[in-house]
Every structure is written in C-alpha cells, then in structure tokens.
C-alpha cells in the first residue's frame, strides 16, 4: 500500500508498504528508513481520533515511533522520528498521509 506517492509532492516524500511488517520511507529516490506498519498505523489512528495539530508541541508515540507538531528550523512542521532518525514535513502532508492511510 502506498500512503503518499504524488509527483506534485514538494517534499519528495514517499511512503510505501513493501511488506506486511514495514513501510519504506524515501525522499526522492533516496531510501531513508523502514518503520513498523503496526506502529505507524497506531500513530495515524491516534492522531486522527484525537484531532492533534491544533496545539503547539503535540506528541504522539507508539513504541519507538513518534510524531510531533512543533517549530523545527523556524517553521511549524510535523516531525516523524524512529529510533535515531527523523524527517520533517508540512502538517498538510501528514494530514494527507493520515486520511489516506488509516485502515478501518
């Protein structure tokens, strides 16, 4: 399953479910990280259920995976992190991922 793959994607962020256990995250053609599908799905569901993104410095965690809304590099962004890795994206990008990725 592909969560985001649009060619009109200014961040060049691509998240693809390449197995039942992991999503692969790439920036352009560069591989960045594999994250557990179950944990990522929990993050999306928690975010959607609790209407996060309305307050500053919000954090949602599931095991080693974390999503934060805050000011990073002088811009308000979403930071997705896992273990020692992170990637920043616009809130609208994360909302798109959540709305298209939640499994009912």
Three-state SS across 10-45?
CCCEEEEECCCCEEEEEECCEEEEEEEHHHHHHHHH
Note the pLDDT of residue 49.
Answer: 82
| Sign for the pseudo-dihedral over CA of 63, 5, 54, 104 | negative
pLDDT tens per residue, range 41-83: 999 998 888 766 556 667 889 999 999 988 998 999 999 999 9
For 58-91, b/e burial (b = at least 16 CB within 10 A) is bebebeebbbbbeeeeeeebbbbbbeeeebbbee
**Confidence (pTM):** 0.82
Q: Per-residue confidence at 34, pLDDT binned at 50, 70, 90? A: very high
């Amino acid at each position: 399953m592909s969560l985001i793959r649009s060619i009109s994607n200014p961040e060049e962020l691509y998240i693809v479910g390449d197995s039942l256990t992991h999503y692969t995250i790439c920036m352009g053609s560069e591989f960045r990280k594999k994250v557990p599908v179950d944990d990522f799905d929990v993050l999306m569901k928690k975010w959607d259920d609790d209407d996060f993104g309305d307050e500053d410095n919000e954090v949602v965690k599931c095991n080693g995976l974390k999503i934060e809304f805050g000011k990073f590099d002088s811009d308000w962004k979403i930071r997705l992190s896992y273990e020692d890795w992170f990637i920043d994206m616009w809130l609208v990008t994360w909302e798109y991922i959540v709305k298209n990725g939640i499994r009912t």
